[in-house]
């Protein structure tokens, strides 16, 4: 490790990250085990949240990160033989939000449909007489890998995620097998909850670290709100020992906030305090809630960019934070009148007709009494801010989602880690979370579940503040990275993926980035963060940004000269005069193009200027309805330059015989039967074995097309339409 790398890592950190880390290590508060405050009556309705995949496979058998282990004995909660990430997941209790796959009762028909609709609002003794919700026409399951959330939230099984889940105690309209499974799982949950309290003394072990404590508090409270039998008290689901533990955990967390880590960790801390402060009643609970709300107001302003993207530029973490915001909106519906206002330097935010976040009056410094919050109403500036952020975040996620309905892989990202766009859209619709009208489900393309028409039914959408561009033409969707790697002081989830991209054709992923299969500080983690694992150019065998360790970055690439064109007209551009000292910030509304003419995006980055020849990588993407081209040019001296195009494992690739040194061609066979021709110029092409990492703990064999530049410029062209020298119908050519 060189002093230079340390310097370029530490120079960007905020002062609180230095003294906060020192304080966090030296200050160790004593757990406060006084009796818990009373419970606040929930006079509204808790709606079904986005369901989690099943991770509890037996009374003490759990599966996370594609690894299944028994949790036997008190030592299992901190077993040194288990990865830290696996132990984190063990302490989250995400499985409380999972449910067996619902099946219609033998009677079927209207009874089954009625039961599905009834599951949207689950009975709870903490609520008054809420009204029922409208259900789907039947149970719908998105069969996705199990999730990982937060910096360590992960489950790697392939269990289906179903939304909305049935109440584990509801029997009418559901098959006896599902009822029995629900009752069995309820007993498993109660036993595991009781074990956790008995075997994890306050303030000790992995489970009492602030991040797992935050997620566990929220999961326990969501479970209590959703699954309590209506005729009994909440203790029928959360035993008295767990209610007492919840209060101890909230007190502990309020004195162990992760100011030294910031980002999604501090957001999770704040959310947990808000949940605890709403669930309990009294002055102590009010203090938790007020502290959490103040932190949330500040962090929402900073972490959610004007275009709706999360500032760490990870679609996975963006979806996690979006679920957090939806949970908060749901909580406000369960406790009407509790979130009228909160002291903050923030401001109320709403969406203008152009889709921009508009700041208006300051949020009041004192809570507003009276004024109940209607489920679909504004309900005060705090709730209005949450709804505005959720609306913008849904649109951003839609732009960053492929036609298969799953996220793109930029920075730390993997499937199943957070709810999908469709899951989150259903959740938002169920709690009336969006602050403007959205397209009905019947108008959303079937190949893109839950996708917003605002960001996906247009040829070009430039998310300027976060730095991504979505292009669409004919059967093609390309998502381009012209973004900074993340906030300078918080690049822990950043990859060296500048000017990379992903491409889908005919609804199928074709060119991809490598994904994320693990955290930690090992060589696999470093390789997955490196430039070579992404569909971009690597010079002289080094990374475009100096990623090191598990979550560190020293010198980092800066993008400049971004230009978006349609035909001969510039849709938008960022000045390329010099290299800006920081990412250029431009107006928030996405730049949207009309259909019909070719689209072009160009940009450059300075990540390699630290090399002796001070080279600069320029990249241009061109998209038409029948073809897609990527042109790479290197300005300055370098030894080697390799442009890599990682192919999805389902893509069969072949190279034509007889190509000369700097020209090659071949074809790609897609799983849907279409064939795409490719041709390269300006570099020696070769196909090499590759690996794709779609889930934590999982890798799949694939291929990568490499172009070793023979001159200062190389080009890869893909063609699939009549206008690009291929034959076939409108659905694309087939072999």
Give the full edge-to-edge strand order of the sheet including 569-573.
Answer: 569-573, 559-566, 599-605, 616-623, 627-635, 713-719, 675-681, 663-669, 652-655
In order of 271, 275, 374, 506, 650, the CA distances from 329 in angstroms are 11, 11, 11, 36, 39
| Predicted confidence (pLDDT) per residue in 228-273, tens digit | 544 344 444 789 999 999 999 999 999 999 999 999 999 999 999 9
| Predicted confidence (pLDDT) per residue in 65-103, tens digit | 889 999 999 999 999 999 999 999 999 999 999 965 433
Using the 8-state DSSP alphabet, how is residue 594 labeled?
Answer: P
Rounded mean pLDDT of the chain? 79
Contact of 275 with 254, CB cutoff 8 Å? no
| Predicted confidence (pLDDT) per residue in 435-452, tens digit | 654 443 322 333 333 444
Rounded distance between C-alpha atoms, residue 138 and residue 116, angstroms = 6
The closest alpha carbon to 311, from 512, 478, 463, belongs to: 463
Give the three-class secondary structure for 48.
Answer: coil
| Predicted confidence (pLDDT) per residue in 30-46, tens digit | 999 999 999 999 888 89
Rounded distance between C-alpha atoms, residue 693 and residue 690, angstroms = 10
The closest alpha carbon to 41, from 280, 265, 274, 312, belongs to: 280
Rounded distance between C-alpha atoms, residue 217 and residue 211, angstroms = 10
The gap from C-alpha 655 to its chain's centroid, in whole angstroms, comes to: 36
Rounded distance between C-alpha atoms, residue 372 and residue 357, angstroms = 25
For residue 661 the two structure tokens come to 């040194």
Rounded distance between C-alpha atoms, residue 55 and residue 147, angstroms = 9
pLDDT band (50, 70, 90) for residue 454:
low
In order of 100, 114, 167, 424, 516, the CA distances from 110 in angstroms are 21, 6, 19, 27, 44
Q: What is the pLDDT of residue 546?
A: 93
Using the 8-state DSSP alphabet, how is residue 447 labeled?
Answer: T
Contact of 468 with 314, CB cutoff 8 Å? no
Q: Which residues pair with 643 in a beta bridge?
A: 537, 707
DSSP code string of 376-425: TS--SHHHHHHHHHHHHHHHHHHHTB-TTSSB--SSS--TTSS--HHHHH
Q: What is the mean pLDDT of residues 405-410?
A: 97
| Predicted confidence (pLDDT) per residue in 633-661, tens digit | 999 999 999 999 999 999 999 999 976 67
Model confidence pTM above 0.75: yes
Rounded distance between C-alpha atoms, residue 417 and residue 694, angstroms = 10
Rounded distance between C-alpha atoms, residue 579 and residue 575, angstroms = 9
Question: What is the enclosing helix (H) or strand (E) of 298?
Answer: helix 283-303
Phi, psi angle pair for 141, to nearest 5°? -125, 135
Percentage of the chain beyond pLDDT 70 is 73
Predicted confidence (pLDDT) at residue 557 exceeds the cutoff of 80: yes
Predicted confidence (pLDDT) at residue 346 exceeds the cutoff of 70: no
């Amino acid at each position: 490790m060189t002093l230079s790398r340390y310097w370029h890592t530490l120079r960007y950190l905020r002062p609180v990250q230095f003294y906060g880390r020192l304080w966090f290590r030296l200050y160790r508060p004593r757990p406060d085990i006084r009796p818990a405050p009373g419970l606040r009556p929930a006079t509204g309705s808790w709606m079904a949240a986005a369901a989690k995949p099943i991770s509890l496979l037996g009374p003490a058998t759990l599966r996370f990160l594609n690894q299944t282990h028994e949790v036997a004995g008190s030592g299992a909660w901190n077993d040194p033989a288990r990865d830290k990430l696996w132990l984190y997941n063990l302490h989250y209790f995400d499985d409380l939000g999972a449910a067996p796959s619902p099946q219609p009762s033998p009677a079927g028909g209207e009874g089954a449909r009625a039961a599905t609709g009834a599951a949207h609002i689950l009975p709870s003794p903490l609520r008054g007489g809420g009204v029922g919700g409208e259900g789907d026409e039947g149970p719908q399951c998105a069969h996705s890998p199990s999730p990982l959330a937060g910096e360590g939230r992960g489950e790697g099984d392939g269990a289906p995620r179903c939304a909305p889940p049935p109440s584990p105690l509801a029997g009418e309209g559901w098959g006896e097998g599902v009822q029995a499974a629900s009752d069995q799982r309820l007993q498993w949950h109660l036993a595991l909850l009781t074990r956790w309290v008995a075997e994890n003394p306050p303030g000790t072990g992995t489970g009492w670290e602030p991040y797992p404590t935050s997620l566990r508090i929220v999961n326990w409270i969501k479970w209590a709100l959703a699954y309590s039998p209506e005729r009994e008290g909440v203790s029928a689901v959360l035993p008295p020992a767990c209610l007492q533990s919840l209060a101890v955990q909230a007190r502990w967390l309020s004195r162990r906030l992760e100011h030294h880590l910031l980002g999604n960790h501090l957001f999770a801390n704040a959310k947990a305090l808000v949940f605890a402060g709403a669930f309990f009643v009294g002055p102590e609970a009010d203090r938790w809630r007020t502290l959490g709300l103040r932190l949330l107001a500040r962090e929402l302003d900073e972490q959610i960019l004007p275009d709706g993207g999360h500032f760490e530029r990870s679609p996975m973490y963006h979806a996690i934070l979006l679920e957090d915001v939806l949970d908060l909106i749901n909580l406000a519906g369960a406790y009407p009148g509790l979130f009228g206002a909160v002291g903050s330097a923030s401001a109320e935010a709403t969406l203008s007709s152009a889709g921009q976040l508009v700041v208006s009056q300051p949020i009041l410094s004192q809570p507003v009494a009276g004024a109940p919050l209607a489920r679909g109403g504004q309900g005060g500036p705090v709730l209005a801010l949450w709804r505005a952020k959720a609306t913008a975040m849904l649109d951003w996620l839609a732009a960053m989602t492929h036609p298969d309905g799953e996220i793109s892989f930029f920075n730390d990202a993997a499937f199943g880690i957070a709810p999908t766009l469709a899951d989150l859209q259903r959740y938002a619709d169920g709690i009336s979370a969006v602050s403007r009208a959205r397209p009905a489900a019947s108008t959303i393309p079937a190949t893109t579940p839950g996708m917003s028409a605002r960001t996906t039914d247009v040829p070009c959408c430039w998310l300027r503040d976060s730095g991504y561009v979505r292009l669409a033409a004919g059967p093609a969707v390309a998502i381009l990275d012209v973004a900074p790697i993340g906030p300078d002081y918080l690049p822990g989830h950043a990859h060296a993926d500048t000017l990379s991209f992903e491409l889908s054709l005919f609804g199928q992923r074709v060119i991809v980035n490598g994904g994320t299969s693990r955290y930690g500080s090992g060589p696999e983690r470093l390789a997955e963060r490196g430039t070579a694992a992404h569909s971009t150019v690597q010079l002289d065998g080094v990374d475009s940004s100096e990623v090191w360790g598990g979550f560190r970055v020293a010198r980092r690439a800066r993008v400049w000269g971004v230009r978006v064109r349609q035909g001969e007209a510039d849709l938008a551009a960022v000045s390329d005069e010099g290299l800006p000292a920081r990412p250029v910030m431009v107006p928030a509304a996405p730049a949207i193009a009309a259909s019909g003419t070719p689209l072009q995006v160009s940009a450059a980055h300075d990540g390699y200027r630290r090399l002796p020849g001070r080279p600069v990588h320029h990249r241009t993407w061109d998209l038409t309805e029948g073809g897609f081209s990527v042109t790479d040019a290197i300005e300055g001296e370098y030894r080697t330059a390799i442009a890599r195009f990682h192919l999805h494992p389902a893509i069969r690739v072949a190279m034509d015989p007889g190509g000369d040194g700097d020209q090659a061609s071949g074809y790609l066979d897609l799983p849907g039967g279409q064939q795409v021709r490719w041709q390269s110029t300006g570099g020696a092409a070769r196909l090499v074995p590759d690996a794709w990492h779609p889930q934590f703990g999982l890798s799949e064999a694939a291929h990568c097309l490499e172009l070793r530049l023979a001159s200062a410029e190389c080009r890869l062209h893909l063609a699939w339409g009549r206008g690009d020298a291929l034959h076939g119908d409108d659905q694309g050519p087939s072999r």
